[in-house]
Structure 1
């Protein structure tokens, strides 16, 4: 936990993910120097979340929806720092879920809360419906993220006419906290196949998959499923001796892993790919070297595309809005 706080306090790039997912830069600047331990982190982000919730009450519906989503994101940040599955984490996660549901109620688009069983335990998901659906996009969240964090992903695909399907998988968010289901590579393989089959059984639409970082790795793995049409993968993570994952990330993942010492990524070198993949890479990515991306790209099937950005790092954070729009168009080709 302390490694995470040190990274947050001193490494500017730590915040890129949160900024592009909706956290205000001014909010980060106002509290960053006060983040010294778990208590200060939780109290500070909790207070900012309450501020956004209070602000939402007097706003028109569209603006109130945005404010509630920010409140949900900030409550998510409060629980995110707590790696253990305990009552404190559960309480903050519940506040995040409640704020997200209020935002959903204010939205003109329909939202359904759904469940999927993996090894007898419940995985929790959300499905949002556009006015007129052209297809369905399964959003695979990075390992230390939750479905509520990536609402901007949902918004972009919804605006392009896609149903969005987003679940907390094993070791993530609501699934980990409420069901106690931890992450493991084999369990995630089951989850991915069950999730695609679930989506296929509920929607008679072309199914595409989108993921970033570790979520991108599992998105590429899903390209081997016969019911998937296309996949877009941004900065897929690899488990390799040549690649050093951030220390704070490795430390955090151990709490939610069934097998210690593993970050439960798919073995892509052993995976058979079936359907086209849009592979996205930032050339300043210090976690995933370009040569790994190029070797993977060479193995992908016909119909593949490589989209690169000279000035972006891991996850191409500041190009994500453009990438999601590009992927939505490519999915429809």
Structure 2
């Protein structure tokens, strides 16, 4: 871990984070599946004849970007990507190879930018891992509101999802909590700051894990607004949270697991998950009601360069190549490949 990546949480938190994440890298290396294979085991789907293709879609300017998040504006199709290293948010416009800076490094005191989500109202939601969630106007780039992490135990605010009713759900990977920001809460906080409100606590539902382990990461809501799905990257499980009752249950996974699962994308019963340290993307069929998910296809390719999340636009998956193991938070296995890029994955 290099000294210039200290967060607001302090040196002690970062050292502990590095130790936990380094263990995840080793586990991922040992558990990584064969390259470009469908899921193994008796529940695996039949092989298909179309091989996924990984190409480079966009370049991110800067030699220490280490991108982490990506989202597509549902109104325009414009993509936004985020730098974990310094909080820069980039705008990725179709037809332009090199991304432009949308929000410069350190904007509004943000040290990082992890999860991103653009909503139908023209707002961009950005998580800063140690402080909370920042909401911007995509037209003016104005900071509209900020939501801070409640005081208490160490926190790592990670990913977001927007529900059909406009509520935004946020995972905390260290507290195993899902926060919620309702439209009414956003309006009350507009022009200022408020505190994130816990919506569901999942610690009791998780398998036993080491203190300080990273658990909840990627999160999605189903199109009907009945439930959300969130992955436990350490335990390898997927959880369903009922949005009406807040009841939590483990999703039955067939043909694979969610080990090292980071970003998720859900479209019409199909769920894509990136498995970061395994250089893998898996595709699942989610049964009606969200109680069961079955692997349909799996891609493992070092060209993904430790993917952290993805966004789907017109049949293409745009995948962030974090290179976190190249002088970033997951190790120093050589220098990163410059420029940092966003991959396009087709056929998955």
TM-score computed with the length of structure 2 as normaliser: 0.31
Structure with greater contact order relative to length (CA < 8 Å, sep ≥ 6): 2
- Kindly indicate which of the two structures has a greater share of residues assigned to helix: 1
Report the TM-score, using the length of structure 1 for normalisation: 0.32
Instruction: Flag the structure with higher strand content.
Output: 2
